[in-house]
Amino acid sequence: MRDVLDLGELQVEVSRKAIKHVHLSVLPPTGKVRVAAPQHMPLDTIRLFVISKLAWIRSQQRKLQTQERETPREFLNKESHYLWGKRYLLEISHADAAPAVSLSPRKLHLQVRPGADRARCEEVLNAWYRQQVRDAVPALLARWEPLLRVKAQRVFVQHMKTKWGSCTPASGHIRLNTDLAKKPAECLEYIVVHELVHLLEPTHNAHFVALMDLYLPHWQQLRQQLNRLPVRHEAWDY
């Protein structure tokens, strides 16, 4: 079930879900506003909630409008690609063997089968980036779970258009954006800590902020760093 709140210049899409709290999202690239609300919450209550968040919504929309975005990747030789914040130049080779990705000091080597097109090159490289995040996560969990006294039941790494990460406290599941492999390693650590803290506090309230301040005092600087970096070019389909 979906409703639309008309707040003059702002149109807000409302979806009903089996949840306890209201979730407000400002979605790239244009700043579309979406609310997920408990199934039986009155529309007028949702309207008042959104109105109370108008300043935050406008702030998020301004950030999206100024967010630098990557140009579409063409997968050509000498094209720039990144791993943990470091720039590499792409070098593509063809061989009748399993696809592979490797690094040298300045180059990212992508081996694909003869005839592989741009989509296949992207698929192979995305799978490699996903594995980089998967390989980095266990050490972060080993450090932070004991400190926070929480346990992530499962961690998924996947392509996410609108978030760097998410947490479902009820199941203990955490999801991480594959593209975090392209950003400095400390950005991945910040997102892992952020999602683990959600196992203690599901919302972004004062308690959540206090926990982040306690365990990762420079988290807001890391958030700013991550949000300043270019994000993937996307074909958005709402």
- The model's confidence at residue 233, banded by pLDDT at 50, 70 and 90, is very low
Average confidence (pLDDT) over 132-155: 98
**Cis ω before 29 (30° cut-off from 0):** yes
Is the CB of residue 175 less than 8 Å from the CB of residue 211?
no
Average confidence (pLDDT) over 75-90: 95
The pLDDT tens digits of the residues spanning 98-123 come to 999 999 999 999 999 999 999 999 99
Question: How far apart are the C-alpha atoms of 151 and 49, rounded to whole Å?
Answer: 32
Residues 147 and 215 in one domain: yes
Residue 17 has a CB neighbour count (10 Å cut-off) of 11
pLDDT in the model for residue 192: 98
Residues 130 and 224 in one domain: yes
Distance separating the N- and C-terminal Cα atoms of the chain? 16
Q: Is 236 inside any structural domain?
A: no
User: What are the residue ranges of helices labelled H in the chain?
Assistant: 43-52, 54-66, 118-148, 185-197, 206-215, 219-228
Domain total for the chain?
2
pLDDT in the model for residue 238: 31
Full residue range of the structural domain in which residue 162 is found: 80-228
Question: How far apart are the C-alpha atoms of 42 and 114, rounded to whole Å?
Answer: 58
Residues 121 and 189 in one domain: yes
Q: Which has the higher per-residue pLDDT, 77 or 160? A: 77
Question: How far apart are the C-alpha atoms of 61 and 28, rounded to whole Å?
Answer: 8
Residues 215 and 110 in one domain: yes
Q: Is 237 inside any structural domain?
A: no
The pLDDT of residue 65 is above 80: no
